[in-house]
Amino acid sequence: MSSNCVLKADWASFDAAKYACLHWHYSKTIPIGKLVKVGFWEDERFIGVIIFSRGTCKNIGAPFGLDQTEVCELTRVALTDHVHPTSKMLKIGMAMLKRLCPKLRLIVSYADSFQKHVGTIYQATNWVYVGPVVTPSYLKNGKRIADRGIGTICTELGISRKEYAERHGIEIVKMRKFKYVMPLDKKMRTAVAGLALPFPKKELLSSVETRASSN
């Protein structure tokens, strides 16, 4: 790493965050809802964002006895080519988040096995791995599509997600993700310590089924 490369972190605008997500994140989408957007620059060149949000689960804090004001989700790490380690930027982003939201006690994030991720960045920054989860996703022509609003549309039409998918040539599949948490205080670290499991390895991706058709 060049010691002459200056890293800067600051709050990013919505437009900057959207650009980073569309160009440098595999989802090609920006999360909805209230976002905390930390931008990064190297030698004044914009290299991307790390985004925290409420996530898609309304009860994200329930397994840990937390309400919605005490927990958030790390929803995007959208970076282009850069010199400084991603782990360093993640630590900076979490520190800025904690100063902005002092009541936060826990951050949750997921590594997507469909993208061949096991959470290397979380392992490098001492997150706690609490196990795999299986969630539904939507594919069209073999590519994942954003599912934002599908539930609302189905409710308005009075049809099931399965029927909606069949009408539009969408395949509903189950995707395995690896769930990590980052406690932000000593009491919470103690609380989640008993949930810690051995970190998953890359070899696991070839030995477990990461995708299975829904019923």
What's the angle, vertex CA 134, arms to CA 132 and CA 140, rounded to 5?
Answer: 135
In a domain, 2, yes or no: no
Q: Tell me: the pLDDT tens digits for 121-159?
A: 999 999 999 999 887 777 777 676 666 567 667 777 888
CATH code, 55: 3.40.630.30
Q: Tell me: the pLDDT tens digits for 79-116?
A: 999 999 999 999 999 999 999 999 999 999 999 877 77
Higher pLDDT, 113 or 46: 46
In a domain, 148, yes or no: no
pTM of structure: 0.82
Please give the average per-residue pLDDT across 158-182, as a whole number. Answer: 85
Higher pLDDT, 208 or 11: 11
pLDDT of the residue at 140: 74
Higher pLDDT, 168 or 109: 109
In a domain, 73, yes or no: yes
In a domain, 151, yes or no: no
Q: How many CB atoms lie under 10 A from the CB of residue 181?
A: 24
In a domain, 95, yes or no: yes
User: Which residues, other chains included, contact 87 with Cβ-Cβ below 8 Å and sequence gap of 6+?
Assistant: 121, 124, 125
State the total domains in the chain: 1
Tokens of 190: 């103690």
In a domain, 166, yes or no: no
CA atoms within 13 A on the CB side of 1: 12
User: Which residues, other chains included, contact 38 with Cβ-Cβ below 8 Å and sequence gap of 6+?
Assistant: 9, 10, 11, 12, 49, 50, 51, 52, 92, 93, 96, 97
In a domain, 199, yes or no: yes
CA atoms within 13 A on the CB side of 191: 15
Domain span holding position 109: 7-135+178-213
Q: Tokens 């948490």, residue?
A: 181
In a domain, 77, yes or no: yes
